[in-house]
Amino acid sequence: MAFLTHGLRRSVVLAVCFALFSLFAVAEGRFKGFGKFNVVHDHNQGAVFEELWFTQKLDHFNGADSRVWKQRYFVNEAFYKPGGPVFLMIGGEGPANPAWMKEGTWLTYAEKLGALCFMLEHRFYGKSHPTSDLSTDNLRLLSSRQALADLAHFRTVMGETQGLTNRKWVAFGGSYPGSLAAWFRLKYPHLVHASVATSAPVFATVNFPEYLEVVWRSLASENADCPVLVKKASDTLAERLKDPKTFENITKDFNLCSTLQIQSEMDSAYFLEMLAGNFMDVVQYNQDNRGFEGALGTNITIKVLCGVMSNTSLGDPYTRYAAVARLMMDTFSVKCLDTSYSNYIRDMTNTSWDGPAAGAGRQWVYQTCSEFGFYQSTDSPNQPFTGFPLGYQVKQCASFYNISAEEVAEAVAQTNEYYGGYDIRSSRIVFPNGSIDPWHALGITQDITAELPAVFIKGTAHCANMYPAGSEDLPQLSEARDHIFLLLQQWLKQ
CB atoms within 10 A of CB 40: 23
SS3 state of residue 118 = strand
Distance, in Å, from the CA atom of 289 to the CA atom of 301, rounded to the nearest integer, reads: 12
Query: Phi and psi dihedrals of 177, rounded to 5?
Result: -65, -20
Distance, in Å, from the CA atom of 285 to the CA atom of 103, rounded to the nearest integer, reads: 18
Count of residues in the chain: 494
Distance, in Å, from the CA atom of 330 to the CA atom of 327, rounded to the nearest integer, reads: 5
- Report yes or no: 463 and 174 within 8 Å, Cβ to Cβ: yes
Distance, in Å, from the CA atom of 255 to the CA atom of 249, rounded to the nearest integer, reads: 10
Closest CA to 274 of 64, 11, 494, 450: 11
The two beta strands, 116-120 and 86-90, are parallel
User: How many Å from the N-terminal Cα to the C-terminal Cα in the chain?
Assistant: 29
Edge-to-edge strand list for the sheet holding 454-457: 52-57, 68-76, 116-120, 86-90, 169-174, 194-198, 429-434, 454-457
Distance, in Å, from the CA atom of 454 to the CA atom of 444, rounded to the nearest integer, reads: 6
175 is catalytic: yes
Residue 242 CB-density burial (10 A; 0-12 exposed, 13-18 middle, 19+ buried): exposed
153 is catalytic: no
Distance, in Å, from the CA atom of 216 to the CA atom of 338, rounded to the nearest integer, reads: 26
354 is catalytic: no
Q: Identify the active-site residue in 22, 437, 440, 473.
A: 437
**H-helix or E-strand spanning residue 310:** none
Could you tell me where the DSSP H helices lie in 223-263? 226-240, 247-253
Distance, in Å, from the CA atom of 429 to the CA atom of 185, rounded to the nearest integer, reads: 7
Q: Identify the active-site residue in 11, 22, 128, 175.
A: 175
Distance, in Å, from the CA atom of 229 to the CA atom of 321, rounded to the nearest integer, reads: 9
Partners of 53 in the beta sheet?
A: 72
- Report yes or no: 92 and 16 within 8 Å, Cβ to Cβ: yes
Q: Identify the active-site residue in 6, 129, 440, 462.
A: 462
Distance, in Å, from the CA atom of 54 to the CA atom of 52, rounded to the nearest integer, reads: 7
Distance, in Å, from the CA atom of 134 to the CA atom of 359, rounded to the nearest integer, reads: 11
Q: Catalytic amino acids?
A: 175, 437, 462
